[in-house]
């Protein structure tokens, strides 16, 4: 992939402490949003608000920032930090609902920029009770919003064997998907389905015959189950299906992805909407409906070595940007 390196203007200090979230590709994301001081912006993944704070620094009193997160803990942080700021509105829910939110608040077609920084935040991964981590034993949950949906343990208890295998193969790109799914199925038939992240990690480690260098054998399965439990790819698809109608002309969509499945969705969406469909050569006028809706003003950006050293969780990040054409 032809990628720019993020600029060196931002200096990384000590490694983030456990439970702290260091915003990834902060400067590149803010540059890509091309913020206008009186514009209307959306941070669809507030997390701990690192990107949001940088956006707010660039907004004047008549600028607007809509903050969204599925995680109630993230939303309570947003309220503590920004409830008193008249520029901010705070919404607990999915960025997939941005279309409805835009309709309710008159933002449709008026948004100058949307940022999605996908995946889980460091506090989610570090807090054992959230059940995301195979390194910290906790209840097998993995929901970004524990107040709704089914936990990972409940999903594993009910999903057919073939679905578990499919999820592991497709979302985890796990070559031992069948073995792992069969081991999970055997454990539930015996009434011993793992109820904690540590027990599931141990079950997977016991059946994976060959380990990938530098990777815990449960890494791929945990990613896959998290994606399934949170319906992550479907929510991203729903969001992308609406975004062109939500942005104003010149509005920017900036997405930071952390694995190839979500990055592929974003990349294809931006590519497909930034070119004219297959037309016979020599057609002089292109119908309105066939004109591209997006332009890609910059190449994808990845973190440089300095950022990865300071924040190893940034290593797989890739940032893509697209601009709404008139």
Ligand X SMILES: C[S@@+](CC[C@H](N)C(=O)[O-])C[C@H]1O[C@@H](n2cnc3c(N)ncnc32)[C@H](O)[C@@H]1O
Binding site for ligand X (CB under 6 A): 21, 23, 44-45, 47-51, 68-71, 74, 94-96, 117, 119-121, 144, 235
Pick between residue 154 and residue 238 the one whose CB is nearest to ligand X: 238
Q: How far is the CB of 303 from ligand X (least distance, A)?
A: 13
Measured from the CB atom, the residue of 20 and 189 that comes closer to ligand X is 20
Asked if residue 68 lies in contact with residue 93, where contact means CB atoms within 8 angstroms, the answer is yes
What is the pairing mode between strands 247-257 and 318-324?
antiparallel
* Residue nearer to ligand X on the CB measure, 115 or 181: 115
Cβ closest to ligand X, residue 114 vs residue 159: 114
Tell me the closest approach of the beta carbon of residue 47 to ligand X, in angstroms.
Answer: 2
Return the number of the residue (102 or 144) whose C-beta is nearest ligand X: 144
For the CB of residue 51, give the shortest distance to ligand X in the complex, in Å.
4
Q: Which is nearer to ligand X, 182 or 316 (CB)?
A: 316
Phi (first) and psi of residue 117, to 5 degrees: -115, 95
Give the angle 141-147-149 at the CA atoms, nearest 5°: 65
Instruction: Tell me how far apart the alpha carbons of residues 198 and 240 are, in angstroms, rounded to a whole number.
Output: 35
What is the rounded distance in angstroms from the CA atom of residue 229 to the CA atom of residue 139? 14
Which letter, b or e, does each residue of 188-216 get, where b requires 16 or more Cβ atoms within 10 Å of its Cβ? beeeebbbbbbbbbebbeeebeeeeeeeb
Question: If we measure between CA atoms, which residue out of 151, 261, 140 comes closest to residue 202?
Answer: 140
* Distance of closest approach, residue 59 Cβ to ligand X, in angstroms: 16
Alpha carbon distance 179, 184 (integer Å): 9
Cα–Cα distances in Å, from 64 out to 40, 95, 111, 319? 5, 17, 9, 23
Minimum Å distance from CB 311 to ligand X? 11
In the bound state, the residue with its beta carbon closest to ligand X is 47
Give me the least distance between CB of 231 and ligand X, in Å please.
Answer: 8
Residue whose C-alpha is closest to residue 124's, from 216, 46, 233? 46
Name which of 181 and 254 has its Cβ closer to ligand X: 254
Classified as helix, coil or strand, 68 is: strand
For the bound state, the minimum distance from the C-beta of residue 49 to ligand X, rounded and expressed in Å, comes to 5
């Amino acid at each position: 992939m032809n990628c720019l390196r993020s600029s060196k203007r931002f200096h990384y200090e000590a490694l983030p402490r456990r439970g702290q979230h260091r915003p990834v590709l902060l400067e590149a994301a803010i540059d890509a949003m091309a913020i206008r001081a009186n514009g209307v912006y959306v941070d669809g993944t507030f997390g701990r608000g690192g990107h949001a704070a940088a956006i707010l620094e660039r907004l004047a009193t008549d600028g607007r920032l809509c903050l969204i997160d599925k995680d109630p803990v993230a939303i309570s942080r947003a309220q503590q930090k920004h409830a008193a700021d008249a520029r901010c509105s705070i919404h607990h829910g999915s960025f997939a609902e941005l279309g409805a939110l835009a309709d309710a608040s008159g933002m449709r077609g008026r948004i100058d920029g949307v940022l999605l920084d996908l995946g889980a935040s460091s506090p989610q991964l570090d807090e054992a009770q959230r059940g995301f981590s195979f390194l910290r034993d906790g209840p097998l949950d993995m929901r970004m919003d524990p107040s709704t949906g089914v936990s990972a343990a409940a999903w594993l208890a009910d999903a057919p064997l073939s679905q578990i295998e499919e999820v592991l193969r497709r979302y985890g790109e796990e070559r031992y998907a069948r073995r792992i799914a069969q081991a999970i199925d055997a454990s539930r038939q015996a009434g011993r389905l793992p109820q904690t992240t540590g027990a599931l990690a141990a079950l997977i480690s016991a059946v994976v015959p060959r380990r990938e260098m530098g990777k815990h054998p449960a890494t791929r399965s945990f990613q896959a189950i998290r994606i399934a439990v949170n319906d992550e790819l479907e929510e991203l698809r729903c969001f992308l299906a609406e975004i062109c109608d939500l942005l104003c002309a010149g509005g920017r969509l900036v997405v930071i992805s952390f694995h190839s499945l979500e990055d592929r969705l974003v990349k294809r969406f931006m590519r497909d909407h930034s070119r004219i469909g297959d037309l016979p050569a020599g057609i002089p006028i292109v119908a309105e409906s066939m004109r591209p809706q997006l332009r890609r003003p910059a190449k994808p950006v990845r973190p440089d070595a300095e950022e990865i050293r300071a924040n190893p969780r940034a290593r797989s990040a890739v940032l893509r940007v697209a601009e709404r054409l008139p």
